[in-house]
């Protein structure tokens, strides 16, 4: 019986789920409630200020993590959802598209943060 390479996808999926569960509620509160309702400061999303913040290496790393890992979480979950609704016959193609999408998203975000 062939040894499975699932652990790599599953560990990225798990890490992504953890990051999403811990960070997304905070992001939703900040960007979806506090800022639009004007509950924090004066012009909090000022371009210069955000650009300054994002150019900090630590902020880059945090943003990269909360963009990349949840993409893998999505990829893994979406792959299994598609297989479960009856697309098992094209499961290899589904895996390539899902994980490929997450890898592309990871590379794009890495490049963006690198060039900021």
CB of 110 to another protein, least distance (A): 22
Distance set, CA 41 to CA 30, 45, 52, 55, 80 (Å) = 12, 10, 17, 21, 43
Task: Candidates 37, 42, 84, 89: give the one binding another protein (CB under 8 A).
Answer: 84
Count of positions on this chain that bind another protein (CB under 8 A): 14
Question: Residue written as tokens 């960070």?
Answer: 23
CB 105 within 8 A of CB 72: no
CB of 30 to another protein, least distance (A): 30
Binding positions for another protein, rule: CB under 8 A: 1-8, 10-11, 80, 84, 86, 88
């Amino acid at each position: 019986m062939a040894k499975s390479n699932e652990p790599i996808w599953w560990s990225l999926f798990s890490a992504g789920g953890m990051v999403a569960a811990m960070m997304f509620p905070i992001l939703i509160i900040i960007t979806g409630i506090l800022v639009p309702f004007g509950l924090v400061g004066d012009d909090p999303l000022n371009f210069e200020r955000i650009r300054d913040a994002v150019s900090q290496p630590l902020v880059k790393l945090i943003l990269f993590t909360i963009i990349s890992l949840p993409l893998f979480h999505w990829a893994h979950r979406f792959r299994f959802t598609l297989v479960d609704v009856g697309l098992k016959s094209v499961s290899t193609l589904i895996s390539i598209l899902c994980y490929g999408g997450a890898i592309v998203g990871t590379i794009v975000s890495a490049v963006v943060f690198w060039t900021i």
